[in-house]
Structure 1
Amino acid sequence: MSRFLDAHVHLWNRATDPQPWIDPATMGAIDRDFAADDLERMLDSTGVDAAVVVQSSNSTAETRRLLMHPCLRIAGVVGWADLTADVTAQLDELDPAARRRLVGIRHLVHVDPDPTWLGRPDVGTGLEQLAARDLGFDLVVRSWQLPLAATVVAAHPGVRFVVDHLGGIAETDDDAGWEAGLREVATRPNTCAKISGLAGVVSGGDRARLRRVVDVALEAFGAERLMYGSDWPLAELGAGPVVWRGVVDELIGGLSPTERQAIMSGTASAFYGLGA
């Protein structure tokens, strides 16, 4: 039986890791804590075996807690490190057993007060230190930040990057600008992308736009550089993870079995070093 992976989920306990970005008035569906039993129910409901848990705050403490999480269906953790400081030293301070679960690093670039953060020289040094430890970097950017992302991935060919949520297409109506930026990023062989963060587009009812978006990603990256992600629990703000999984199956239904397997497992397994 093929193993399916969800390449993008979150867990949080707000007593230890506050999530001040959650607006109770507009985000009531996720205005609570999400724990291992919630994750397991979601994975069961979507027919997925395991998940990559991604940081939701720029916090070393959160990363350490996620790395020590007892849930066996967490295939790996994309944590946080301060890329403007000594990344190697920060990684060495992690518990050796927990460090084996660390599969990548992410910084909340899309909400950083410095819109040019990603292009800073000290960040570039930090990215190279990630590459030296065989860790990839998750790029969470707004669509207007894609040109800067393209410049950065070109400047660091030895670093592996994955673009979260197809580069923020769900948060813009400038499809032409988004497409140009995503295609430019995709010209670099050290990049992949996640078909994730789009449950809101589904609930918006514009299936034709969603089809165009995924077709652009398939043409730009190829199935071998795309991976499925639910972006749960944020998916609950849109169509929900079960509907989203069904939509993805529909969108990639015309691909070959090998291509579908790449998107549903193979690309994420290879990028994050998770094995077969």
Structure 2
Amino acid sequence: MQFIRQCFGMSKKVPQRIVDPHHHFYTPSVEAGPGGHSGFLRKLGAPDYPPEEYVKDKSQLNIVKSVHVEALPDDGVAEAAWVASLIKEGRAPTVKAIVGKVDLAAPDAAQKLEALVKTSDLVKGVRYIIDYDGPWGEDNGTHPEVSRHGKDYLRGPEASDFERGFSLLAKHGLSYDLQCAPAQLPAAAALLARHPDIPVVLDHAGKVRKLDGGSADAAKIEAWRAGVTQLAKLPQVRVKLSMLGFLVPGWTDDAAKEAIVVGLVKELLALFGPERCMFASNWHGSGASSNADYCDECQPTMTELYEKFQGWCDGPLGLDAEAQAMVFAGTAEAFYRI
């Protein structure tokens, strides 16, 4: 990983204080395990990633708080209860908030939300992955999770059911982690505009997909830009700067590709401001999964990612100390109330 420390004159400097607002634990190898991961994640071939691995992977990074985000469980309530138990046992010392999973379009969404919030006072939000870009396949932006139902919850006939469940988040004081495909962003913005009392964070920088500097990039970026611009106009919306290798596979090994990533991050900072942006590790399993969702095989460590983020802030992003404190910690603390 010699290259990863060379672009933009980056040093080994890391942020002084980090709140990591997005990471995962799971144990699919455990048959009928307490985290509810032995079904779908096992089919995907995911290896176990218990909290002890996160502690090891963060190494000497000063991660003072973190947020556990649902990890495709078969039972979201069971997963939240499991994470809460890990915290009580002292196995997950950084975790101060839990983002659980509830299918907000399901007929029992109200009951599931009631059950979710009862698992722990640390439950602060909900994520239900809804990336839909046509029937699931390797060549589109539909998420494997969506293959479980194959529906477009933002633009399809299920949208009204989803909105009904989404509206219930306000009753419980919960936020929503929005993960969708770029083509869905305008529909998402319209939905969120009708519910200004529900805090929302856009996951993974809006998930524009597989940019490489080629001729196809312009149309992808144009669609992404139109969507994130609409979201930025809504004051309740934040954005996570994470999983950047999904946006630009191979950026950790190619200066030109890294420049594309930096340009996207800079654009999001200009739209939302540092007080509405948060860097996140998305850490789970490996550098390839965390950084790129397996879109490439690069294996940066968590420390190398944060070295890179810090180098950008000191260099091409030009963020002062106050802005850096927000993107590395303050924005996440405020959003998740931790």
* TM-score (norm: length of structure 1): 0.87
Q: Deviations over 1:191-229 (max 9, x none)?
A: 000000114533352111011101110011100000110
CA distance in 2, matches of 1:234, 1:224: 29
Structure-1 residue corresponding to 2:115: 93
- More displaced stretch, 113-122 vs 139-148: 113-122
SS of corresponding position for 2:328: helix
Q: Alignment partner for residue 188 of structure 1, among 231, 234, 255?
A: 234
Q: 1:6 aligns with which of 9, 14, 20?
A: 20
Q: How far off is 1:265 after superposition?
A: 0.9
Of 270, 273, 282, the residue aligned with 1:219 is 270
Unaligned runs of 5+ in 2: 1-14, 132-142, 212-216, 289-297
Query: Shift of residue 114 of structure 1?
Result: 4.2
* Percentage identity across paired residues of the two chains: 25
Q: Structure 2 vs 1, CA of residues 234 and 219 (structure 1 numbering), >3 Å: closer, same or farther?
A: farther
Map 1:73-84 onto structure 2 (within 5 A): 73-84=94-105
- Taking the TM superposition and a 5 Å limit, the aligned residue runs for 1:161-172 are 161-171=200-210
C-alpha distance in structure 1 between counterparts of 2:332 and 2:154, whole Å: 23
Identify which of 72, 80, 83 aligns with 1:57.
72
Classify the secondary structure of the residue corresponding to 2:239: strand
Cα deviation code 1:136-194 (max 9, x no counterpart): 00011122221222222112211111000011024454122111211111111110000
Deviation of the 1:2 alpha carbon: 6.5
Partner of 1:178: 224
Residues 2 and 164 (structure 1), Cα distance of their counterparts in 2 relative to 1, 3 Å cut: same
Q: Deviations over 1:244-264 (max 9, x none)?
A: 111111222221211111111
Report the secondary structure of 1:175's partner residue. Answer: helix
The residue aligned with 1:136 is 175
In 2: Cα distance, 1:144 partner to 1:171 partner:
15
1-structure distance, mates of 2:67, 2:307: 20
- TM superposition shift of 1:240: 3.4
Q: Identify unmatched segments of 5+ residues in structure 1.
A: 24-30
Question: How many aligned residue pairs are there?
Answer: 266
Shift of 1:72: 2.1
Q: Supply the distance in 1 between the matched residues of 2:308 and 2:101 (Cα, whole angstroms).
A: 31
Which residue identity lines up with residue 81 of structure 1 in the other structure? Answer: V
The structure 2 residue matched to 1:252, chosen from 307, 313, 319, is 313
Equivalent of residue 203 in structure 1, options 228, 252, 269: 252
SS of corresponding position for 2:126: strand
